[in-house]
């Protein structure tokens, strides 16, 4: 009898302690789903002249972003950059998609890209744009410094999936000039995640510095950076060759592996390996 009373008291205490949180959760969820009250100024921007794309109208929608990770205290603000994406998509649908709907609806049924592209996340080195490729032709993964790491589950999965299921025929590791990752590595910047991530590229710098004289002019500095960027491509191809799925596919003649380098100043994509 005494244990039943004790159990009842425990349950009562739990209910009392959890109830306010549950109510708060319901309230904040309701707030998140509540209609956005248009800020007159923001509304004018989204429905009027597009400030980032002069001459184009806005989307008519309020674009919001939560400014806090806590939904209870988050305020909604407009993102012009996100609106620019949506506006750009409208342009794509109007000028590209809707002019060749059969092609794009065919892509909706599946993909069969011939190439896996392992590139840098740099915003200036878009694979499709710089190779005049179309959607469906290149399977893409990009990271800071186009690094093929020995402890990157994401890349392991991408490589395995693209070889075993998409049946890609070629894998390209692509570096580029003016690479921020190489600059960060060279400057030995200290960041919690960036620094250890770049460890897998440091050997490229070591190799180049071992064969080059210390640069003395801006031109020589630039040449050294280019050499490290290109050496990093070779290094990452070497890393890729250690992936079991890659080794097996190469041994069986199912794929080829290559290294490429994109020069931002000339727009030229050239073969390193
Ligand atoms: Zn880069």
pLDDT in tens, 30-78: 333 344 443 433 333 333 333 444 444 444 445 556 677 777 776 667 7
- Mean pLDDT, all residues of the chain: 83
How remote is the CA of residue 139 from the centroid of ligand 1, in Å?
18
CA torsion sign, 159 to 163 to 166 to 171?
Answer: positive
Domains, the chain, with CATH or none: 2-94 (no CATH), 112-271 (3.40.1050.10)
How remote is the CA of residue 123 from the centroid of ligand 1, in Å?
9
Task: Dig out the tokens for 29 from the structure.
Answer: 């969820």
How remote is the CA of residue 137 from the centroid of ligand 1, in Å?
22
How remote is the CA of residue 248 from the centroid of ligand 1, in Å?
29
Q: Which has more pLDDT, 83 or 38?
A: 83
How remote is the CA of residue 104 from the centroid of ligand 1, in Å?
30
How remote is the CA of residue 71 from the centroid of ligand 1, in Å?
34
Length of the chain counted residue by residue? 273
How remote is the CA of residue 144 from the centroid of ligand 1, in Å?
6
| pTM of full prediction above 0.85 | no
Over residues 104-116, the mean pLDDT reads 97
Q: What is the pLDDT of residues 150-192, one digit of tens each?
A: 999 999 999 999 999 999 999 999 999 999 999 999 999 999 9
Task: List the beta bridge partners of residue 188.
Answer: none
How remote is the CA of residue 183 from the centroid of ligand 1, in Å?
9
Q: In Å, how far are 18, 187, 196, 203, 270 from 183, measured between CA atoms?
A: 51, 6, 15, 14, 21
How remote is the CA of residue 179 from the centroid of ligand 1, in Å?
4
Task: List the beta bridge partners of residue 259.
Answer: 173
């Amino acid at each position: 009898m005494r244990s039943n009373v004790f159990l009842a008291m425990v349950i009562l205490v739990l209910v009392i302690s959890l109830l306010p949180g549950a109510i708060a959760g319901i309230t904040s969820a309701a707030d998140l789903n509540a209609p956005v009250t248009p800020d007159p100024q923001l509304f004018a921007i989204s429905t009027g002249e597009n400030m980032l794309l002069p001459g184009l109208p806005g989307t008519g929608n309020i674009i919001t972003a939560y400014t806090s990770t806590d939904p209870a205290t988050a305020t909604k603000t407009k993102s012009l950059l996100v609106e620019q994406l949506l506006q750009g998509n409208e342009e794509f649908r109007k000028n590209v998609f809707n002019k060749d709907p059969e092609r794009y609806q065919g892509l909706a049924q599946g993909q069969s890209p011939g190439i896996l592209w392992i590139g840098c996340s740099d915003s200036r080195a878009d694979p499709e744009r710089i190779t005049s490729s179309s959607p469906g032709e290149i399977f893409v993964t990009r990271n800071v410094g186009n690094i093929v790491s020995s402890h990157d589950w994401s890349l392991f999965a991408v490589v395995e999936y693209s070889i075993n299921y998409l049946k890609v025929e070629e894998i390209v590791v692509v570096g580029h000039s003016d690479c921020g990752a190489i600059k960060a590595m060279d400057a030995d910047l200290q960041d919690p995640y960036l620094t250890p991530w770049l460890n897998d590229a440091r050997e490229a710098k070591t190799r180049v510095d071992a064969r080059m004289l210390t640069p003395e002019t801006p031109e020589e500095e630039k040449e050294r950076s280019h050499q490290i960027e290109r050496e990093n491509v070779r290094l990452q191809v070497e890393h890729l060759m250690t992936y079991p799925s890659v080794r097996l596919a190469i041994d069986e003649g199912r794929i080829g592996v290559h290294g490429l380098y994109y020069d931002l100043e000339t727009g030229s994509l050239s073969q390193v390996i």
